[in-house]
Structure formats: C-alpha cells, structure tokens
A and B are shown apart, each in its own frame.
Chain A
C-alpha cells in the first residue's frame, strides 16, 4: 500500500537547522530526506521525486539559486514545489529566487511555526 504522507526534501547544510526541521516534519507526519550540499540535493530531486523541496541559499558545492535554476530547466522537475530559505535583509536574494521561480521564501532568522504553515500552504496548492 503506497504511503500517502507527502515527501519533503531538505537541502540544508546547517546541522541544527536540519535537526529542527526533521523534528518538526516528523511530528507533523511528513516523510523527509536530507542532503547537505547543492549537488547531491539536485540529484536527489530526480531520484526520490519529492512533493516539496526546502532549499537553503547558502550551500556548499552548488548554491541554492543554481539548484533552483537547474530544477526549473529540467522538464522532469520544473513543476516541483520549492520553498527557499534566504537571509534576512537580502532583498536581492528574494528577487533572484522570484525570478528563478521559487514558490515561497522564508527569511532567516525564521519562526519554525510559520515555516510549517508555509509548507502546508504550498502542499495544498
């Protein structure tokens, strides 16, 4: 019997943030996978076919914008839902993410409950 819980791919290199997201997602009944760098994250998008991607901007290997650009360029992944985690007061990051087609932005520092609401929102669309 297929698992109906949405699958979320977390592409984030900050360990404590990943642990926090893991804790929250688990508690809310989501399935999740984690990758700590951009390149592996991009590969995982096609491999595991997630329902939603939580994508940090500052990543080793390949930054979040480049990951998003390649997701949008690939016909197989271009409709994937993406929430970007950007730094506060970095308006240019938000503009860049918007141009590349991110579905939502969460500015760091962030409120975990707001992030969970955004996840629900995007998955419900």
Chain B
C-alpha cells in the first residue's frame, strides 16, 4: 500500500481518538456536574430544617455538626444556605446565623482550601472568608499573599475577603492591589471600594487618610485613579477635599491626565466646594474636551456671571460636546435664545438652535 494511505489512516485514527476523548470528557464533566448539583440540592433540603430550628429554638450550635459527613458538597450547601439567609435577615437572628459559619468542620474545610495549591479552591475559600469576621492571623496572612497573584480572580476574591478586616491599612492594601490591575472592570473596583468603608461613620477620617495614599500610588492606572476619586467624593470623605483640590491646582505627573482631571473637577462639585471655583475656571481652556466639559458643568452651577463670556467663546469650540455643554451652561444661567445666538457664526447657528431645543424638550419631559 502507498505510504500516503498509511499516513491518512494514521491521521484518521488519531482524529477519531481525539474526538472520542473529547466526547467522553464532555459526558463525564456533565455527569459530574449533574451529580454535584443533585447532591447540593439534597443537602440543602436536609440541612435547611435544622438551621431554621436552631434559629428558632436556639440550643447548642455543635449539635449541627452531626449533620455533616465530611463531604465538600455538603459544606458548600450549608454555607450557601447560611449566606443566603444572612443576605435577607438582620438583628439577633443574623448574628446567630453568622455563628454557624464558624462550625469546626466548615471552618476546617475552607481553611484547607485556602492552603491548597489550586487557584479555584483558593477562590472558593476566599468567598467563604468574605462572609466571616477576619480574626485569624494565619488566614489574613494567606489572603494577603494572594494579593500578589497573577490570577485576577484570586486577587479580587482575596481583596473582597480582606475588606472584612477591622484594620483599615489591610483594607487599603487590598484595594490598592486591585486598583493596580489592568483590565479590572469599573464595576468590580467600585464594588470593592464600597466594601472598603467599614460602615461606621466615625471611621471616615482614618479611611480618608489611607485612601490618599492609595489614590496617589503611581502604579494605579489613570482610569482606576479617576474612578476612586469619584467614589471618594460620592461616599463623602470630606477630609480629602483639600488634598484633591491641591492636586487640581498643581496637576503634575500622575495627576496630569484627562480622566484624572475630569474626576478631580467632578469631585469638587460633588463635595459642594465653592472655594474650588477659581481653580476649576482655569480648566475652561484645557486642551482636552473631557476636562473642559467637566469644568463647564461644575461652573454652570457654582460659577459667576463673568463665566458667561467664556461659555459664549466655547460655542465655537472644535468639539461638539463642548459646544453642547456651553449651551446648557448658558441656558442654566438664564440666557435666552437670542442672547445665546448673538455672536455665533452663521454656519453654527442651526446647530446651536437644535441644542437649545433639545435642552428645552428634556427640561419639559422632566
């Protein structure tokens, strides 16, 4: 037989084997997943009544341990029940539920996963530890180690768990690690930032102090720095007002970035800091449209009559969105259509008229 036929046969056998392997792997994975889901469902059904009974009747917490049979799907089901209930309940019942997460078999299982070499197991452990009070020194150290991982999911999960720490510096380090990551989504970073706050308003000052360091870290991407600045303002860290205003006054190095400047300007508006008006005014002539728009929007609310001339000048700005912001600012400052259109070149008049119309329609709709 020709060698090429042997070769063709060999290739066919290899391809057939690979296809079969793939086919059986999929079947096995699906089977295992189905078995896991079925087991978890059954465990949930078995474990929920004793949990509810404990909640209602009290009694010795360790009595619940007899329901465990050293099965990881059982631990998973139990934690799921408790955390689902915790997300819906508060008061003494929630406190008692919280205690269930410290049952020895549960804690030991997740502590073992935390020390595993497998990142998926580690993430599972992080999720568990994000629901318990972080008092165990070894657990905290391990979670801190994960902050240096190259696995984004692991870093984020560890950082989320560390947000349960009472030590503001540990929480700041966790936030810092995530903010440094390129590719982390805005939503994920904001979620973490939201968890950074301990919930106690008397902590805002100390949290603000460490946030100054996080936001000033040169390793953080400009987009994440901007996001954190906006978060700080929305959350009301008032001890950061002057710090952020100083950066706006002298924007050197990491602060001299359109996204960051935009956030710094918006933050002053969010803080209602009227004393920032003169500084913001300088940005009406900034080279980047995003910065100019932020300046117009803030001055439109807090500026004075002398800004009207600048808004008129900006009606001929090369960027359409800047022109639009200028029109809105003029209307916001009680300028009528003929006042706005005076001095506007003929070729732009129709566009400006349309923006005025759009603004009025939006206002009427509100």
Contact = CB atoms under 8 A, between A and B. Distances in A.
A108 B84 CA distance: 12
7 closest cross-chain pairs (CB), A and B: A111-B91, A109-B90, A16-B84, A23-B52, A16-B85, A109-B89, A19-B48
Nearest to A85: B88
Contacts of B84: 14-16
Contacts of A31: none
B56 interface: yes
Nearest to A16: B84
B205 interface: no
A112 B86 CA distance: 12
6 contacts: A17-B88, A23-B49, A109-B88, A109-B90, A110-B90, A114-B91
Contact of B85 (A20, A24, A111): A20
Interface of A: 14-17, 19-20, 23-24, 27, 108-114
A16 B90 contact: no
A40 B348 CA distance: 58
B89 A112 contact: yes
Which secondary structure dominates where chain A touches chain B?
A: helix
B87 interface: yes
Contacts of B89: 20, 109-112
A110 B90 CA distance: 5
Contacts of A17: 85, 88
A27 B57 CA distance: 11
B48 A16 contact: yes
B88 A24 contact: no
Nearest to A114: B91
Contacts of B49: 23
Contact of B90 (A19, A23, A111): A111
A89 B145 CA distance: 36
Nearest to B87: A109
Contacts of B127: none
B93 A111 contact: yes
Interface in B69-101: 81, 84-94
A24 B52 CA distance: 9
B88 A23 contact: no
Given A16-B85, A19-B48, A111-B89, 17 more contacts: A14-B84, A15-B44, A17-B85, A20-B52, A20-B55, A20-B88, A20-B89, A23-B49, A23-B53, A23-B56, A109-B90, A110-B88, A111-B90, A111-B91, A112-B55, A112-B93, A114-B91
A24 B92 CA distance: 16
Contacts of B55: 20, 112
A106 to B, nearest CB: 11
Interface in B24-43: none
A54 B176 CA distance: 44
Contacts of A20: 52, 55, 85, 88-89
Contact of A109 (B52, B81, B94): B94
B315 to A, nearest CB: 38
Counting chain A CB atoms within 10 Å of each CB, the highest count among B48, B56, B87, B88 belongs to: B88
A114 B94 CA distance: 13
A108 B86 CA distance: 10
Contacts of B94: 109
Nearest to A112: B93
A14 B88 contact: yes
A15 B45 CA distance: 10
Most buried by B among A19, A24, A108: A19
Contact of A19 (B52, B56, B86): B52
A24 B44 CA distance: 18
B195 to A, nearest CB: 16
Contacts of A110: 88-90
Contact of A27 (B56, B91, B92): B56
Contacts of B81: 16
A19 B51 CA distance: 11
B285 to A, nearest CB: 41
Contact of A24 (B56, B86, B91): B56
